[in-house]
Amino acid sequence: MARTVQQLFDLTGRTALVTGGSRGLGLQMAQALGEAGARIMLSSRKAEDLEQACAELQAAGIDARWIAADCAREDDIARLARETLERMGDVDILVNNAGATWGAPAEDHPLAAWDKVMNLNVRGYFLLSQAIARGSMIARRSGRIINVASIAGLAGNPTEMKTIAYNTSKGAVLNFTRALAGEWGAYGIGVNAICPGFFKTKMATVLIETMGEEKMAAQAPLRRLGDDEDLKGITLLYASDAGKHITGQWLAVDGGVSAILGG
């Protein structure tokens, strides 16, 4: 007998690792997974931020823990994967969300800043996916990987942005998602991406201040920026059995911006 919708979306008994999970979009995604019943391991660079985020999740009745790690560093990624598996057991859901950006005209963009963005936004996604798949998902022939890309990876920069490394990295994340889905489907691992538009997060603060919140909202067909609920639905779809036949895909959550820009 087919399961009900509630049963398909239920994550009770599953474990999720969320990077960049101490605030913003990562924390919102962790909340969605935890509210559906998953145990959560949060990671980001700063212990203080993680303690506060874990306390927030725990206050909502979510089983949440944390490990401080820099996902731009190979040794930190290896430690994060190892300690998560030791403390939580098998990982059912990996959310690659940790990311960085840098604003500068392309002709003046520092090489060190380019490398920083690429190391975290692309190399880090690959290394952690590889470590978790090797340590848990492949042997069990089961798992879900959710990569956070961006609508910045779908098209060129608006003139105000000047974030060529970030845009390039997010375009790479989309093809990384497709390529990994093609390879790891044989192991029962689903790999999908989310392309957020403009959300009121710390990373977007400078851009929002530069462009103006009202102007940015006016450019979206829905006339709004993303809020602290808008990623929950797609996160749960990708992570749960409701999305078990979806892999190698991306979805923009952007108020319609990519639809009118041709993304």
166 is catalytic: yes
d(CA 22, CA 188): 29
Residues 6+ apart with CB under 8 A from 84: 17, 41, 43, 67, 91, 132
Nearest in space to 153 (alpha carbons), one of 170, 130, 166: 170
With tokens 């098209």, the residue in question is: 155
Q: What does each C-alpha distance from 190 to 138, 181, 194 come to in angstroms?
A: 11, 6, 13
96 within 8 A of 124, measured Cβ to Cβ = yes
Question: Which residues have CB under 8 Å from 166's CB, separation 6+?
Answer: 100, 101, 102, 117, 121, 150, 152
Which pair of structure tokens corresponds to residue 169? 């990295």
Phi first, then psi: what are they for 221, rounded to 5°? -55, -35
Question: Catalytic pick from 125, 166, 187, 238?
Answer: 166
Task: Tell me which residues are annotated as active site.
Answer: 166
